[in-house]
Amino acid sequence: MKITAKAWAKTNLHLGVGPLRGDGFHDLLTVFQTIDLFDTVTLETIEGEMVEEGSVVKRLSVTGPRGVPEDATNLAWRAVDALVARRAEQTPLPAVTLHIEKGIPVAGGMAGGSADAAAALRAVDAWIGPFGRETLLEVAAELGSDVPFCLLGGTMRGTGRGELLVDMLNRGKYHWVVAVFAKGLSTPTVFRKHDQLDWPPNFEIEELSEALLEGDYISVGAALHNDLQISALSLRPELRTVLTDGVRAGAFTGIVSGSGPTLVFICENATEARDVADALIDGGQVLAAHVASGPASRSARTRGAHILSIED
């Protein structure tokens, strides 16, 4: 059996970061939105090889940028193990291989690893499920703060450490330029920097909520906010000039995506976004600049991580 699942990148239209909690995480008030860059995860059973105990995953391979682990530390691998462990009866299962095709920047603040975990959960659910929404969301939250959102997608408000999700009304489709850098940033490092800087949290999303209802890119652009931006910029001062360059090239505004270093610029339309992306590439400071739109999908079936194909 061969199952391929797809999951979108996310950005945070708002990211408010509260104080550090006892469990090492921060309380957040965030607004997530999918952007139509994506990864796919393919789970394929190995004929004639059954697994009595231990991980069913025998190999993991990755196509795309370097820096993605190809062992049991990969979040997609851990996702398969975590969901397989939730079966009512622990009977032997066929061994499987995993293959990830990356379209989402690595260590970029766009939930690439979390998207892979979400896609892997969908694949296992199609293979030996259904496990039900509750279990999928529970396992997703154990795997990482952004995994539940990657599973559900769309435009959602996240609280807790980001895993408590409520749908938000959004009327618009937004055109983005996603500026990617050669060197990623570690999320814990950015949060640590944030603690050092002791920046007060911004938990105000009223303006953004109204802007999303209106669906107008200028109002949404004006309401974008990221509490981690100051920390990401202090770790990577060179991002500041790229932010300015994007606006100078015609973007309405730009912001650090999540914990960075990826920058996302909101533009009037796809043509404008293409011009901004070309200008950033010409500037020579970015590894790549993609044109993308968000939310990635509005259809109930494809708005979050979803199955692309199943072959027997």
Binding site for ligand C5P (CB under 6 A): 24-26, 28, 144-146, 161-162, 187-188, 191
Which of 10, 102, 116, 227 does the annotation list as catalytic?
10
Q: Which is nearer to ligand C5P, 162 or 221 (CB)?
A: 162
Q: Is 10 annotated in the active site?
A: yes
Q: How far is the CB of 211 from ligand C5P (least distance, A)?
A: 24
Q: How far is the CB of 198 from ligand C5P (least distance, A)?
A: 15
Half-sphere exposure of 277 (CA within 13 A, CB side): 21
Length of the chain: 312
Q: How far is the CB of 126 from ligand C5P (least distance, A)?
A: 24
Cα separation, 178 vs 203, in Å, equals 25
Contact 265, 254 (CB under 8 A): yes
Q: How far is the CB of 136 from ligand C5P (least distance, A)?
A: 17
Residue 62 DSSP one-character state: E
Peptide bond connecting 201 to the previous residue in cis, omega within 30 degrees of 0: no
Cα separation, 156 vs 114, in Å, equals 16
CA 85 vs CA 45, 88, 94, 197: distances in Å: 17, 8, 14, 41
Half-sphere exposure of 73 (CA within 13 A, CB side): 4
Q: Which is nearer to ligand C5P, 28 or 178 (CB)?
A: 28
Q: Which is nearer to ligand C5P, 39 or 272 (CB)?
A: 39
Cα separation, 97 vs 95, in Å, equals 7
Which of 146, 193, 227, 245 does the annotation list as catalytic?
146
Q: Which is nearer to ligand C5P, 175 or 193 (CB)?
A: 193
Active site residues: 10, 146
